[in-house]
Structure 1
Amino acid sequence: MTEQAAAVVDETTVAADLVTQLEYDRYTHEDPVPDWRPAKPFAAMVGALLLQELEDASDGWLHRTLDADPELAANLGFEPDNPPSRSAISRAWSGRLAELCSTIETSARQIRQLAAERGSPIGGPYETNASEEPTGSSKRTVNRLLRRKARDLLDELQTVVLPAFELDRPDDLVYDDEELLTLEACLGVTGTAANGGAETYGDFVNPDPALDDPFYEDGPSGETPLEAIKDLSPTDIAKMVNQGAARVLTRAKPRLEFETPVMLSIDITYVAFYGEREELVRVQGAPEDKSYDWCYKFATANVVGDNVHFAAGMLPVGHADYHDSDAYPGKDKSYRVGDVVRRLVDHVNDVCRIRIRRLYADREFYATDVFSTLEQREIFYVIPARRDDRVKRFIARMNEDVDGNKQVTVKHDNAVYGPVKHGGTKSSTETTLVSLPPDEDRKEPQVFATNLDVNDEIGLDRRWAKKQINRYSRRGGIETAYSKIKEFAPWTTSTNFSIRLFHFGFAVLLYDLWLLVDFLVQTLIDVVEVRTKPRVTAPRFRAFLRREVSALL
């Protein structure tokens, strides 16, 4: 069964489709029921029980699934209107197919592993249709589900995330890549630096080591993963992190309630740099509102749904050697925000296989190249406008009501100028400006650039325009997301940018696993809602992950 599955499984394969494509005739000689006795087809029962095992489902779930889907039942070999009952399924495990139970269980385990390696949703721990957990949001229920599902996600870290990373290392290895990456996860959840975290990792793996063992630390020293990481290029690191994020997302999609197409939020995360900058070309000046002068910059793309914010990809920004700077005009070869948007949007579209409906970004992305990129890809956008002289004049001319109160004002065909990839230094494009009047949350008007179809002719148009632009506030959870990502990153003083980038990228993946645990708990207790405060806090999730880290080995 595993050999057959290997020829079928890809990132789009689901368990119900897979089991109908496998042949089970080679097992029919195991059937103890004589041909003359009436019984369900033996091969069909093998396929059905394999489906049940792949989905980690109950006997009742399998019966309900076959009863509700006559086509699936027929494809397996049952009569469409007469699938096996719940009791028949239970008896098959203990009686008729007892000799094949271990074969089915082993095949299911191998196929789940294969599916995880190929990014298939088969066997993902996020499926809840197989669950018969009681509903209700009692603290006891939440705690029980959290403990069980946190363990499931540790398996996902091992089978889905870690295989996305390939470290360039010599042949004479003492520790393999998986152990170095497990140490990285330990560093992230404990918030420790390389050497101190390695000692903590050794305590988890073997609290009572043999002192005469030359490797009695029971784990690699902190310098070992640093040596493996620091020679990786920023491009390679970003590619591996994004592949890991895409694989987790593929496994999660069956239960994540995104709009179709989705909303995407792109923002810049600033990681403080303290110390002498010297010739560190990737260290950049921090924004004025930060408490530090220098920082590293990372761009992160988040899929925004009604019930989850999910980090789908990340990129380093701020240096020309991993952006297509030669395609831009002029002498400035630093990064261009349009290229950041282009690469992240294409990653979500092409790698994550998610079609984007609308993009939100902060003021740094108010640029001609960004607007041109999104227009070419037919993506709607809402981006705060920079307060240049033209925008200030637009605010001064906002519409007012009879009492002199400012009204929602729309300006179509507003020209913006700037460098565009494969274009000139002063290329132009057009966008629509929408200015929202002050309210209880804002002391002054806010202006946004958009390509949405909005107007200000009548009151209904103005209310509609305000509603569309105010959806930008759904980015609120994203703003706090970046501070949470940093909580999953190891502490380091290294000036090597690859090490900094690797730590941040791996933290993004741990952050995603935390979001999914929180979402799964909400789903299993039938209380899925937009929550500004998670049911499972990040420190608590890190504590669970920390306690279970030895299970990854």
Structure 2
Amino acid sequence: MPRPRGYQTSSKVKVSRNIDKIFERICVREVCRNVKRLVYTHIDLKLNYNCIYTTEDFLDFLTYIAITKDFATNGSRTYRLLRNKAPSADTLLYHLRKLSIEEIITQFDLVFDKLLEDAKRKGKFRNPVDVAIDIHDWLYYGKWGDYVIGTQPKQGTHKAYKFMTICIVENGKRFHLKALPLKEFKDRYKVFEELLKHAMSRIKIKRVYLDRHFYDMEYIRILKKLGLKFIIQALRSSTIRKILDENKDKDVIVVRNYQMWRKRKPPGKETVNLFIVPSRVNNDKVCFVTNLPVNEKNAIGYAELFRRRWGIETAYRVSKDFRAKTTSKNISVRLFYFLFSLCLYNLWILVNITLCLIFNEMKPVVTAKIIGTLIFQFQVDYG
């Protein structure tokens, strides 16, 4: 049927049709040849020379159980329906348990660096970028053990493995740079500083965004020591509540040179700028502290930046789509699963960066599940 005169196909339809036409030519080649080379070649599972499986076999299997959100045992049964050469769950977990924590972190640091370099070659993250740091709980239901830390009661447990991550949080671009496990909660300051130093050696940081869990003098001291600009959502201390009561008629409240005090040992204080703005979701107020110059005119702008840039939790929710399930108490297994999920998330970002450049689009062109499916379905000859 001929189209009416003046008929124009919408941009979304054009993009969809173009993707359908070149999906196999570009997507599969990009994911299977470039992406798998970037990742798989830098992960060493310490396989013996006589092992019947390759690292690619294990990582393809892990990708499969990740995107199907399955356990290794059940996933191996369904995976064998797709692949003749499919490792068992016991074999996969055996090789992961052999790796030390240091080996796993070192390998994935290299992988994340390679992915970041590839993103920079595509024109991303070259200029100063905003970053965020968060602590993620992987809930645990077994007995206490190494790296199992108490947490707020949730979904029937108060135990969790905790991972601190640092992530680039630009609009439409969220990219994991590094993640570390917390063995004890007291390690959080040391890990926090290590993550920031790692990021500073690889990118230029514009600002650091932190949620209320980081409203702590020690974190602020570390940020100041490293010369970084920050915005942190503040908890309502008795002093802040008093400020709110005294300024009920004001929409925006700014207190320059606000003093944060710590009475418990070791005592101390830190000077920051406090600003309080109306919440966008209710009639309440939201409090922030920063070392940026703030006034009544730019305070709402800073709060809006925090809202728009705070994308680490969004990135974490999507990366959970790439994480396999496990009941293992072994930290090497947990850590490998967690870092591999972040790695797959970055791969998804990289593929979409490439396609967005082709189609001149701002939003992701293909879903995370499609990318995960392509990764384990198509094998490449590494030559």
2:35 and 2:359 map into 1 onto residues whose CA distance is 24
Q: Which residue of 2 aligns with 1:437?
A: 278
For 1:198 and 1:163, how far apart are their aligned partners in 2? Answer: 23
Q: How many angstroms does 1:394 deviate by? A: 2.8
The answer to whether 1:255 aligns with 2:122 is: yes
Q: What secondary structure is seen at the aligned counterpart in 1 of 2:133?
A: strand
Q: How does 1:396-545 map to 2 (within 5 A)?
A: 396-398=245-247, 404-417=249-262, 425-438=266-279, 440-455=280-295, 462-528=296-362, 531=363, 534-545=364-375
- Residues 1:282 and 2:147 are matched in the alignment: yes
Quote the Cα distance in structure 1 between the aligned partners of 2:220 and 2:371.
39
Q: Which residue of 2 aligns with 1:159?
A: 37
Distance in 1 (CA, whole Å) between partners of 2:162 and 2:253 is 34
Partner of 1:345: 196
Relative to 1, partners in 2 of residues 1:302 and 1:172: Cα closer, same or farther, differing over 3 Å?
same
Give, in whole Å, the separation in 1 of the partners of 2:113 and 2:355: 22
Give distance in 1, aligned partners of 2:134 and 2:263. Answer: 20
Q: Sort the Cα spacing of 1:349 and 1:144 in 2 relative to 1 into closer, same or farther, 3 A.
A: farther
Over 3 Å counting, the alpha-carbon distance change for 1:346 and 1:197 in structure 2 is same
TM-aligned CA deviation for residue 546 of structure 1: 4.1
Q: Secondary structure at the match of 1:286?
A: strand
Higher relative contact order (CA 8 A, sep 6+): 2
How far did 1:508 drift?
Answer: 0.5
CA distance in 2, matches of 1:146, 1:290: 40
* Secondary structure of the structure 2 residue equivalent to 1:188: helix
Pick the structure with greater CA Rg.
Answer: 1
The one of 168, 184, 190 equivalent to 1:303 is 168
Q: Which residue of the partner structure matches residue 24 of structure 1?
A: none
1:175 and 2:53 aligned: yes
Question: 2:65 is matched with which residue: 187, 194, 219?
Answer: 187
Question: How far has the Cα of 1:428 moved from its partner?
Answer: 3.3
CA distance in 1, matches of 2:329, 2:179: 20
Equivalent pair of 1:359/1:382 in contact (CA under 8 Å): yes
Shift of 1:375: 0.9
Q: Deviations over 1:495-536 (max 9, x none)?
A: 2122111111101111111122223222211123xx4xx432
- Post-superposition Cα deviations, 1:166-198, rounded to whole Å, max 9, x if no partner, equal 334556533333432332223223333223333
CA 1:485 to 1:428, structure 2 compared with 1: closer, same or farther past 3 Å? Answer: same
- Provide the C-alpha distance between the structure 1 equivalents of 2:12 and 2:357, rounded to a whole number of angstroms: 9
3-state SS, counterpart of residue 172 of structure 2: coil
Shift of 1:449: 1.5
| 1:430 alignment partner AA | T
**What residue in structure 2 maps to residue 138 of structure 1?**
15
Q: Which residue does 1:313 correspond to in 2?
A: 178
CA distance in 2, matches of 1:233, 1:437: 48
Residues 390 and 234 (structure 1), Cα distance of their counterparts in 2 relative to 1, 3 Å cut:
farther
| Superposed displacement of residue 263, structure 1 | 0.6
Please point out which of 387, 391, 411 is paired with 2:236: 387
CA distance in 1 between counterparts of 2:125 and 2:244 reads: 35
> TM-score scaled by structure 1?
0.61
How far apart in 1 are the matches of 2:62 and 2:17?
Answer: 32
Structure 1 unmatched ranges of 5 or more:
1-133, 207-217, 321-333, 456-461
The answer as to whether partners of 1:264 and 1:359 remain within 8 angstroms in 2 is yes
Letter in 2 for 1:177: T
* Aligned-partner Cα distance in 1 for 2:154–2:169: 26
The residue that corresponds to 1:128 in the other structure is none
What's the % identity of the aligned pairs?
Answer: 26
2:5 corresponding residue in structure 1:
none
Structure 1 residues 236 and 390: alpha-carbon distance in aligned structure 2, compared to 1, 3 A threshold: farther
How many Å separate the matches in 2 of 1:408 and 1:290? Answer: 38
Distance 1:511 1:552 in 2: 23
* Cα pair 2:126 2:203 within 8 Å, conserved: no
| CA RMSD, 1 decimal | 2.8
1:315-373 Cα deviation digits (max 9, x unpaired): 112x24xxxxxxxxxxxxx43432232111122222xx211111011111112221111
Aligned partner of residue 443 in structure 1, secondary structure? coil
CA contact (8 A) 1:362 1:384 kept: yes
CA 1:449/1:152 → structure 2, altered by over 3 Å: closer, same or farther?
A: same
Cα distance change, pair 290–428 in 1 and its aligned pair in 2 (3 A): farther
SS of 1:191 mapped into structure 2: coil
Conserved 8 A contact 1:167-1:229: yes
1:251: Cα distance to partner?
0.9
Q: Which amino acid in structure 2 is aligned with residue 293 of structure 1?
A: H
Describe the SS at the equivalent of 1:463: coil
User: Hey, what's the Cα distance between the residues in 1 that align with 2:298 and 2:276?
Assistant: 13
8 Å CA contact retained: 1:256, 1:308: no
TM-score, normalising length from structure 2?
A: 0.86
Is 286-295 or 504-513 further displaced after alignment?
A: 286-295
The Cα offsets for residues 221-276 of structure 1, whole Å up to 9 and x where unpaired, read as 221121111233333322322221111111111325447211101112222223x3
Q: Deviations over 1:100-142 (max 9, x none)?
A: xxxxxxxxxxxxxxxxxxxxxxxxxxxxxxxxxx998431113
**Residue identity opposite 1:447 in structure 2:** C
Q: Which runs of 5 or more residues in structure 2 are unaligned?
A: 1-10
For residues 261 and 42 of structure 2, the distance between their equivalents in structure 1, rounded to whole angstroms, comes to 41
